Structure 1
Amino acid sequence: MHIQTRNLQKADYPDLKEAMIEVYSGIGGDYWEKSKITKLLNIFPEGQFCVEVDSKVVACALAIRINHEDFGDNHTYYEITGGYTFSTHNDDGDYLYGIEV
């Protein structure tokens, strides 16, 4: 078995979707839409990671950068993600905010 961690790529979406369906279906969750993954890869590719097992993506960690002073300690996920648009991402942000693991 070969396991590796690397940056997520657009071509990984089918495997990622399959993994999310498998993981989240038992808890009533849903998978991330391709457009959301594509947007994250366009605005902050170096912050999106995946785990591959035998050349198949089985997990991910997604993130954006934010300025802490814009949100403070009391915020919601919806606020941090700009209503799931990721408009709050700031290339010069001082915090790496994990939005999915």
Structure 2
Amino acid sequence: MPYKSEFYAFNQEKPIPIVIRNYLQSDFDELIQIQTECFPPPFPAELWWNKNQLKNHATLFPEGALCVEVEGQLAGSITGVCVDFDPTHPSHNWEEITDSGYIRNHNPQGNTLYIVDISVRPKFRKLGLGYYMMQAMYQVVVQLGLERLLGGGRMPGYAQKSDKMTPVQYVESVIKGESKDPVITFLLKCGRTPVSIIEDYIDDEESHNHAVLMEWKNPFK
């Protein structure tokens, strides 16, 4: 079922028209450009989207391929895949659970919408677009009757404190408000809750390759 939501975000006191919709083949070049702006080095360039991956997103699971426009300009995207997740065996890495971003493992009978990626152009980040896109994905979870939304959150602030804290201690300090992490704090504000720490989740120097598995449960399940 196609997704389209039109509303206003605010730039200070000025209302700005926003549209969240499914992304299409005509958006691919701009989506790749957005990736380069959102994930500059040392983030590995090979992890930016390519057109084959985007084609799979838009055809295998279009419900989980959403983008956001600001006054007609593409400003970001969020991508998901359906998987059958077993909470008693949470360990995995990004490559295996997302098929390296190609989502050929998409399972229409899965119980979980797994977030593959979320990105917002830096110049638009004050508008709260990431939050709005995450809420849109929660709506997809409810519409499809899934149990949860799940994803591994990077912890880019950890590298600065890794000599003093374990990954678990770092996440606990963020939850207590003693530390602030650009990704974990954002996900907490979106309504996600930590489930576990995953080692060797993705090649990410800032996070020392760790991620926090964070969940949003469907309140109707």
Query: TM-score of the superposition, structure 1-length normalised?
Result: 0.85
Q: Return the match for 1:44 from 54, 61, 74.
A: 61
> Relative CO higher for 1 or 2, CA cutoff 8 Å, sep ≥ 6?
1
2:93 to 76, 79, 94: 76
Q: Which amino acid aligns with 1:72?
A: H
Whichever residue aligns with residue 18 of structure 1, its letter is Q
8 A contact 2:65–2:79 mirrored in 1 = yes
Superposition TM-score, scaled by structure 2 size: 0.42
Is the Cα–Cα contact under 8 Å of residues 57 and 102 in structure 2 kept in the other structure?
Answer: no
Deviation, structure 1 residue 76: 0.9
Partner of 2:11: none
State the percentage of identical aligned residues: 25
2:80 is aligned to 63
Deviation at 1:45, TM superposition (A): 0.4
2:135 corresponds to: none
Q: For the structure 1 residues 27 and 59, does the alpha-carbon distance in structure 2 shift closer, same or farther, using more than 3 Å as the test?
A: farther
| 1:34 positional shift | 0.9
Query: Is the deviation greater in 31-40 or in 77-86?
Result: 77-86
The alignment yields a C-alpha RMSD, in angstroms, of 1.9
Once the two structures are superposed, residues 14-54 of structure 1 have per-residue CA deviations (whole angstroms, 9 ceiling, x without a partner) of: 22122112222254343300110001111000111101112
Distance 1:21 1:83 in 2: 17
Instruction: Indicate whether 1:88 and 2:96 are aligned.
Output: no
Gaps of 5+ in 1: none
Quick one: which of 29, 32, 45 aligns to 1:17? 32
Q: Does 1:8 align with 2:23?
A: yes
Query: What amino acid maps onto 1:62 in structure 2?
Result: T
